[in-house]
Amino acid sequence: MGAGPRTGAAAARVPWRFVLEWLVEWYDGVELWLVQLAYPLQVTLVLAVLLPVCWALARVVDRGIDGLGAKLTRVHDAEPPVGRQDGERSEKGTPA
């Protein structure tokens, strides 16, 4: 038998404990590799990974909250309150 990915009933029999153990071992390896790098490289890699992940997560949460707010409002077909879309000008002549 090949060592390919399991599918169907064989995949359902894989205990989650083994999957979690594999994930922990993988994470430990990545962590050990990262710790052994020079500090400027550590900061660069962490920022290169965390900034996009945090930005995407914040965007998903923001869209979810806006969508939930639009569904829970009493006004039908209301758009989420993301800012003024009507083009009105404020007192100083700049868009509001």
Task: Indicate the SS3 state at residue 52.
Answer: helix
Task: Map out the domains of the chain as residue ranges.
Answer: 38-79
* Statement: residue 84 has pLDDT above 60: no
What average pLDDT does this structure show over 59-82?
80
* Statement: residue 3 has pLDDT above 70: no
How far does Cα 9 stand from its chain's mean position? 31
Q: b or e along 32-56 (b: 16 or more beta carbons within 10 Å of the residue's beta carbon)?
A: eeeeeeeeeeeeeeeeeeeeeeeee
For the full predicted model, state whether its pTM sits above 0.75: no
> Under 8 Å CB-to-CB from 89, ≥6 apart: which residues?
95, 96
* Statement: residue 76 has pLDDT above 90: no
